[in-house]
Amino acid sequence: MKRSFRPQPARASVVVEAPPPPRALDCEVSEVGAQGDGAVLVEGQQVFVPQTLPGERVRVMVAGAQGRLEAVLAPSPERVTPACALFGRCGGCALQHWADAPTLAWKRAQIETALRRRGLETDIAATVAAWGSGRRRATLHARREGKRLRIGFMRRGTHAIEEPAACLVLHPALERALPGTRRLAELLTPPDGRLAALHLTLTESGLDVDVKGAGKGRVGDPRGLMRLAETADALDLARLSVEGEPLVTRRTPWLAMGRARVEPPPGAFLQATREGEETLVRLVLAAIGSGSGRVADLFAGLGTFALRLADRGPTLAVEGDAALVPAMKKAADAAGGPMGSLEVQRRDLFRSPLGPLELKRVEAVVFDPPRAGARNQAEQLARSQVPLIVGVSCDPATFARDARILVDGGWRLERVTPVDQFRHSPHVELVGVFRR
């Protein structure tokens, strides 16, 4: 049987315009953006170019909103020679080409700009350089590419891995450990090209390593466990964990926080440098003073502030991470004295912030949220009658958003102090003091 022919309606053709080809342009850099890249204006559009500085005349290869530096035609007097041969490829540093003093001033200006965008003005101190001996935590990525294992830091904007022989922003003890991490990666990196992440933390008793992405099946047999134990021995690790589960503990890893000795869970968050932590603590304690009555430390983490505050008076520490709460409480109990009476509460402050009634007996609040900030908690604080609030933040934009909420609720942002513990990167911490 023949089938009748039905004409099909014509389909509209879709024309996909090809992106314009890259072109070389000579431009002047107007400023450095929040990610540490210089901004140039191309036909009314802002284009960001890595490794450029304000006032420089540069030749740039432009494609869309991104540019690649071809040549510096007129360098800034603030330009310096990068100390690392991998600068520009490794994604760890963005500002090695900029002298320290103008970099610190720029970080202060980033905070000022973020506050101004929210209609806020206050006294902003000069940025405190808290680099100290270098970072005491780092994350290395490892991946097998055929028969070759690559381990190191991610190349900026890609999943490619750069393999540093050294790293000038790390604490020397952490830098010395870099070659040995390859031996761990050989044992734990999946064979199928998936990434493994080695989280390294320098503690008072040695290096604490937690490997993510390996899969517990990689170490499930007795022979595999024995090889890991031998490698941990050879590298003199304090502890080796896989997927957050300790497998080899040669020495208990611990961190000094005031009089307390805290045993961090595998991969726990820690301020990047010891000097950075000490600077933040000094600023917070100075703002709180010695006669502030009961203090609440919100998003308390391992107890960076709470364990010091508890030595001064009644302190409530609130933290949502189930692993951090017992670590903090155990450290306080072992230290004894006033610190032993620290009240520790597990609570998700994003979903269930402390309200005005719960804050009624509190004389001062410290809050140190993750990068996303603490919008819900700030809204509750704005409704409270707490006389003093100290905010700690690693993101000027979310801090400014939360500060606006507090100011609208009747608070005054008294002062802000920038703290830089991320040398050669665009990141900056800050401490802000609010009063009724």
Q: Are residues 411 and 289 in the same domain?
A: yes
Does 96 reside within a domain? no
Q: Are residues 369 and 399 in the same domain?
A: yes
pLDDT at 325: 97
394 is catalytic: yes
- Sorting pLDDT into bands at 50, 70 and 90, what band is 224? confident
Q: Are residues 55 and 141 in the same domain?
A: no
Q: Are residues 404 and 303 in the same domain?
A: yes
Residue 329: how many CA atoms within 13 Å on its side-chain side?
Answer: 13
Q: Are residues 119 and 202 in the same domain?
A: no
Give the integer Cα–Cα distance in Å for 396 and 162. 29
Q: What is the DSSP string of 345-361?
A: EE--TTTS---TTTTTT
What are the pLDDT digits (tens) for 29-49? 999 999 999 999 998 899 999
Determine the structural domain holding residue 53 and report its residue range.
23-79
Domain termination site, one of 185, 218, 253: 253
pLDDT at 139 over 80: yes
CATH number at residue 249: 2.40.50.1070
Give the integer Cα–Cα distance in Å for 255 and 310. 17
Reduced to 3 states (helix: H, G, I; strand: E, B; else coil), residue 307 is: helix
Q: Are residues 120 and 148 in the same domain?
A: no
- What's the mean pLDDT in 115-137? 98
Q: Are residues 381 and 325 in the same domain?
A: yes
Q: Are residues 319 and 403 in the same domain?
A: yes
Q: Are residues 231 and 143 in the same domain?
A: yes
Residue 209: name the closest of 242, 167, 165 by CA.
Answer: 242
Does 152 reside within a domain? yes
Q: Provide the percentage of residues in the chain whose pLDDT is more than 70.
A: 94
Q: Which positions ≥6 away from 4 have C-beta within 8 Å?
A: none
Tokens of 57: 């005349």
List 27, 90, 167, 394, catalytic entry: 394
pTM for this entry: 0.92
Does 90 reside within a domain? no
- What's the mean pLDDT in 362-391? 97
pLDDT at 119 over 80: yes
Kind of pairing, strands 364-367 and 295-298? parallel
What residue type is assigned to position 152 of the chain? G
Contact 218, 187 (CB under 8 A): yes
Does 372 reside within a domain? yes
Q: Are residues 420 and 301 in the same domain?
A: yes
Q: Are residues 64 and 127 in the same domain?
A: no
Give the integer Cα–Cα distance in Å for 292 and 314. 10
Q: Are residues 118 and 47 in the same domain?
A: no
Report the domain count for the chain: 3
